[in-house]
Structure 1
Amino acid sequence: MTRSPPSHCRRTAGEVAPLPGRGHHRSAVHSRNEQPDRLDLAVVDQYNGACVGEVVLNEWDEPNRGCNLRIALVAAGQGRGLGTEAVRLMVAHGFEQLGLHRISLNVYDFNPRARRAYEKVGFVWRSAVRRPVPQRWLGVRRTDEHSGA
């Protein structure tokens, strides 16, 4: 996967203040840029410049040109549309810049707010897993909207 983040995003590794915890946690985070099968970006609040989370494309599936997407936001980044916008930007980047054909994710049933945000971006339900915590697998495929047509 050719990795070049959108100009309005920052990579999480190497740009965040020193991380708490043990050395192996810090080295794992700072090694993200060295891994060619993933793209980790910070979600930054434009009003105050604070990092409020991350959005990640990982689990690169080269034969199918697909990736998994995940997002995590701190409480200060929730409920304001930042997650929806971050997912929308990352999906567009994945399709338009990286040439992906499919992006998938999973969402727990106890998180309907996240599921609605993913559906707004175009993710659709694919299957359900009932163990150990019920969750749903969602996916979005490249369409004419993302192909530049």
Structure 2
Amino acid sequence: MVELESVAAVADNGVIGDNGELPWPSIPKDKQQYRDRIANHPVILGRTTFESMLDDLPGTAQIVLSRSVDSVEVDTAHVAADADEAVAIAESLGADTASVIGGGAIYELFQPHVDRMALSRVHGEYEGDTTYPHWDEADWELVEATEYDRFTLEEWVRVDRDAGE
């Protein structure tokens, strides 16, 4: 079974995006740790997020969730109609881990299923139209928190393994 890890940057007020962009000024250190974390396995993302990353696609493969397209013109990309198909594709690629990288609807869809979360807690509150889904901290354990300039990287592990089944 592939392990699902949600990877996101989240402002203090839960905002993750504004009109398809990050709502805060670029944080190079966060961008680098994010890219390093997702570099060696497939990523699961929505079509809009995928299209916004075409110039520099992340991960070893991209599993694009879409209800409107059946295929994309990228050799490393696969299209999935739903979460189960996305996980099946990740498993067919031989992946131990797949990173869920957004956008908002994709995070919401996968939240009950993810095993881990790597959340960059961006210091400050920002205006935006997309938020990270709510989750019950009782189901999770914070296993590591690393302070950086302008953000804290939090590593969460689901403690109630049955909650995602």
TM range (shorter): 0.3 to 0.5
Tell me the TM-score normalized by structure 1: 0.36
Tell me the TM-score normalized by structure 2: 0.34
The answer to which structure, 1 or 2, has the higher relative contact order (CA under 8 A, 6+ apart) is 2
